[in-house]
Chain A
Amino acid sequence: EAQVTQNPRYLITVTGKKLTVTCSQNMNHEYMSWYRQDPGLGLRQIYYSMNVEVTDKGDVPEGYKVSRKEKRNFPLILESPSPNQTSLYFCASRHSPFRGYYNEQFFGPGTRLTVL
């Protein structure tokens, strides 16, 4: 089954304790992205990757890191989480990022993160 998976689904942590949220897709998509969703703010893009070893900042990259060492995986790293990073996080992927070829994004089930 074609899907995007995220782990963990739920996480409660404390300020400053480094964490990683994993994201994996099995559709051979070039493009992957991370979003956070907050009430009243909709979804905001954190980082995206157009292919292996190629990453770019989205709208709200501060406090986050990403890496793209393999095509299928795109982990989100919070080196020193703070309470304002409490949010619902979504990973997404899609096919070719080439301009002029736009298509749908497939979303993971979400990771609900609470930073105390």
Chain B
Amino acid sequence: SQQGEEDPQALSIQEGENATMNCSYKTSINNLQWYRQNSGRGLVHLILIRSNEREKHSGRLRVTLDTSKKSSSLLITASRAADTASYFCATGDTGNQFYFGTGTSLTVIP
């Protein structure tokens, strides 16, 4: 399976701190995407990074991609209680299949 894995599985931080979560995957990719899921609800796209990019920013989000290590990280700066959610990475291959990781559950304590 090409499924990715997020690390850590769960993360608890204080409001205002930074949160870092990592994603590892198994095979070559064309792009990697990060999604957020609030409890029991649909996923919301956060950011996409292509395989030829190394870093990307969007607001308080910073994503890095290291294709040699087959890994990506998502950094959320100055976290807020509203950032409490599960975060998933998803990889796209040369076809049209997508592979999601198992997710990191983030809790931001006010």
Residues of A bordering B, CB below 8 Å: 4, 31, 33, 35, 40-45, 48, 50, 56, 58-59, 88, 90, 92, 97, 99-100, 102-110, 112
Contact = CB atoms under 8 A, between A and B. Distances in A.
Interface in B51-94: 88, 90, 92, 94
Interface residues of B, number: 26
A59 B42 contact: no
B48 A103 contact: yes
A5 to B, nearest CB: 10
A48 B103 contact: no
Interface centre among B31, B33, B96 (most CB of A within 10 A): B96
Contacts of B30: 99-100, 102
A107 B43 contact: yes
Interface string B24-39: 0000001101010000
